[in-house]
Amino acid sequence: MTAVQKATDQRIRAVWAAAPGPVTTALGAPAFFWEHPQAGLRAAAFGEAARREGMSLRSLFADLEEAVAWPLGAPEPPGPWFGSLAFDQTRSMGLDWAGFESARFILPALLCWSRGGRHFAAAFGDDCEPRLQSALIDLGKAHSDPKRESMSAHVVAQPGERERWSALVTRALAAIDRGELDKVVLARAISVKSDQAIDTGALLEALAARNPTCRTFLIRGDAGAVFLGSTPETLCRIEGSLLRTEALAGSAQPGDGEALLGRQKELREHRWVVDHIVSGLAGIAGALQRRPEPEIRELANVAHLVTPISARLTPGRSVADVVAALHPTPAVAGVPTAAALRFLKLHEPLDRGLYAGLVGFIGPGRAELSVALRSALVRGASAQLFVGAGIVRGSAPETEWAETALKSRALLDALGVAP
């Protein structure tokens, strides 16, 4: 174990040490969890040394990007600020989202992370050194892997749900025919009931194992609920001036990904997202690079069209500018964005809250934010799963319902819900 190193300023104290093993249940339930198996990154944040919320987004991001005093030569942690932003900052979160905020990031009291097979721990805030030493002792204790009971759950049917969906899609198609919209992304919630309190740790493990290319995440609210999921879509990754993003739109059954390259509806939707990103970055970045044609990303339950995009932020630009330029994308809102948001506010009978918002981590000169898709709000033995579909001219209610059902399978399978 390496010696603890320490750095201090008047605002933040931080210490770190090499941890003897991966994050375990010995440390209790995390306030925030993040795993990207393909990148070899896992992070769990426990407690809070500081919290930022109730600020304008520009002030919030400026605060989060301030350097935290960090020991010279110590391995850089992800973050160290972890949190989320709601889909629409102008809308109320709704009663279902009690305990969450439309914009909240925390600096953890204790952070454990693994990168490339090496394990680390860090503590922040007052009395951080004894807290870190105590955590290292807990991590070093012999323990057995927790016994995971197999979950069994079922979908709770909502009377009239299919009829309401059909009416909503029909209303959206009418708005498209009137020229008010080119596309709008409609979402619905699927209610699930388990035979016992849902084991969120087991659920995260199952999601990460099934979706190694996705970012599996968990955010714990103040009122006992958790928001979690495994998302395939990255809004941005920033390292210094280098920005990486991607357009992800267009869906098919697993194994049918290549067919997407010949489907005009999906290609048109995908182009809208690409154009949105390219246009949004035009005023804040240069040296933009992207593939001329989309690739196929095959996930366990669905295939998508994806176009990776990279650029260099112009001097003085930051993650706040990127979020303002790109969020929400046409993949989760619609085209034109403002008209789609107005339509959703008027007609979608769902409090999206953090669904289709942003989740991830931010630090000085770096950030990784993903779009919170394939996600669920979990309270005790109940869960609300959120799924959506893009409505364009030629869409049909039954086809789009089937697409949302396809997208729901990742979470339903992990919860033990039979097809």
Mean pLDDT, range 301-316, rounded to an integer: 93
Axis crossing angle, helix 397-415 with helix 200-210, rounded to the nearest 10: 120
pLDDT at 12 over 60: no
pLDDT at 389 over 60: yes
Confidence band, pLDDT 50/70/90 cuts, at residue 299: confident
Active-site residue identified among 183, 269, 348, 407: 183
Mean pLDDT, range 384-404, rounded to an integer: 95
Name the phi and psi angles at 95, rounded to 5: -65, -35
CATH 3.60.120.10 boundaries in the chain: 153-212+222-415
3-state secondary structure of 222: coil
Beta-strand ranges (E) seen in 67-220 are: 81-85, 103-107, 110-115, 118-124, 153-155, 183-194, 215-220
Percentage of the chain lying above the pLDDT 70 cut:
92
Confidence band, pLDDT 50/70/90 cuts, at residue 14: low
Q: What pLDDT sits at residue 391?
A: 95
Class of domain 153-212+222-415: alpha beta
Confidence band, pLDDT 50/70/90 cuts, at residue 258: confident
Q: Do residues 115 and 40 lie in contact, with contact meaning Cβ atoms separated by under 8 Å?
A: yes
For the chain, give the mean pLDDT: 89
pLDDT at 353 over 50: yes
Please give the Cα distance from 15 to 75 (Å, whole number): 11
Neighbour-count burial of 264, counting CB atoms closer than 10 A to its CB (0-12 exposed, 13-18 middle, 19+ buried): exposed
Give the amino acid at 208: A
Q: What pLDDT sits at residue 25?
A: 61
Active-site residue identified among 233, 266, 348, 403: 233
Q: Do residues 3 and 16 lie in contact, with contact meaning Cβ atoms separated by under 8 Å?
A: no
Q: What pLDDT sits at residue 8?
A: 35
Q: Shortest CA distance to 193 belongs to which of 153, 152, 149?
A: 153
- pLDDT tens across 119-168, in order? 888 999 888 888 888 888 887 775 555 566 677 889 998 899 999 999 99
Rg (CA), the chain: 21
- Say whether 183 is catalytic: yes
- Say whether 233 is catalytic: yes
Q: What pLDDT sits at residue 148?
A: 64
Q: What pLDDT sits at residue 2?
A: 33
Tokens of 328: 């929400």
CA distances from residue 115 to 39, 137, 170, 346, 375 in whole angstroms, order as listed: 8, 21, 48, 44, 24
Of residues 251 and 215, the one with the higher pLDDT is 215
Number of Cβ atoms within 10 Å of the Cβ of 195: 12
pLDDT at 409 over 70: yes
Percentage of the chain lying above the pLDDT 90 cut:
68
Q: H/E element holding 412?
A: helix 397-415
Q: Do residues 124 and 49 lie in contact, with contact meaning Cβ atoms separated by under 8 Å?
A: yes
Please give the Cα distance from 13 to 122 (Å, whole number): 10
Q: Which residues contact 157 (CB under 8 A, 6 or more apart)?
A: none
